[in-house]
A and B are shown apart, each in its own frame.
Chain A
């Protein structure tokens, strides 16, 4: 049972434009959500997180939106840069326990 889903395996965006990565979840007990970025042969790097008591969190070019009623979150990257090209994973947890990861979306930012 896939509790966290990233339905788009890949996304291609032009440099300078907005990248929107989506994530859906099924477990209403999740109270904390995170986005990680992963380059090949490296570990996931923490990007940004959001608590379930908020609906938006912003950090520089990265903004995460949470829609609890739809059980949906999204990561916006504005403006997109070539160095943003990587695989992005969303993850969720509750009670500060294990993270449940989505399968990832490969973002490619082209000039």
Chain B
């Protein structure tokens, strides 16, 4: 158990819909990262937040957005969903002064 939690574990929805994925980092970790893994590919970095502020952006679509709340949990919002958005979405957290990111169990999104 990494200490990072993600909900829901599975999400099935239709094209055009909007969903929200939630992540709670390890206790005390200020940095939260979101990654997408599609079809046995490597994990692709989407976005990073640090203590409530956006810190870095990767290959994140404009239809996707994220935020980190004062209690440090983070949400990833995916809108106008397309079939190609079906993937595993992972959240990771990192404590200050270290380089290691710890991952949650992921949310499997299926868009029908």
Enumerate chain A interface residues (CB-CB to B < 8 A). Answer: 4, 32, 34, 36, 41-46, 49, 51, 89, 91, 93, 96-104
B63-104: which have CB < 8 Å to A?
A: 90, 92, 94, 98-104
* Apart from A34-B99, A98-B48: 14 A-B pairs, beta carbons within 8 A: A32-B99, A41-B106, A42-B105, A43-B90, A46-B2, A46-B100, A46-B103, A49-B100, A89-B42, A96-B99, A98-B33, A98-B45, A98-B58, A101-B35
Whole-angstrom distance between the Cβ of A109 and the nearest chain B Cβ: 20
Closest Cβ neighbor of A36 among chain B residues? B103
Complex contacts, A101 vs chain B, CB 8 Å = 35, 42-44
Contact of B102 among A46, A89, A91 (CB under 8 A): A46
Complex contacts, B45 vs chain A, CB 8 Å = 98-100
Whole-angstrom distance between the Cβ of B4 and the nearest chain A Cβ: 7
**Most interface-central of B55, B58, B101 (chain A CB within 10 A):** B101
Q: Is the CB of A44 within 8 A of B99?
A: no
Complex: how many Å from CA A43 to CA B42? 12
Q: Is the CB of A93 within 8 A of B103?
A: no
Complex: how many Å from CA A36 to CA B33? 16
Interface size on B, residues (CB 8 A): 28
CB-CB under 8 A for A43 and B2, given A100-B45, A101-B42: yes
Enumerate chain B interface residues (CB-CB to A < 8 A). Answer: 2, 4, 6, 33, 35, 40-45, 48, 55-56, 58, 90, 92, 94, 98-106, 108
Complex contacts, B100 vs chain A, CB 8 Å = 34, 46, 49
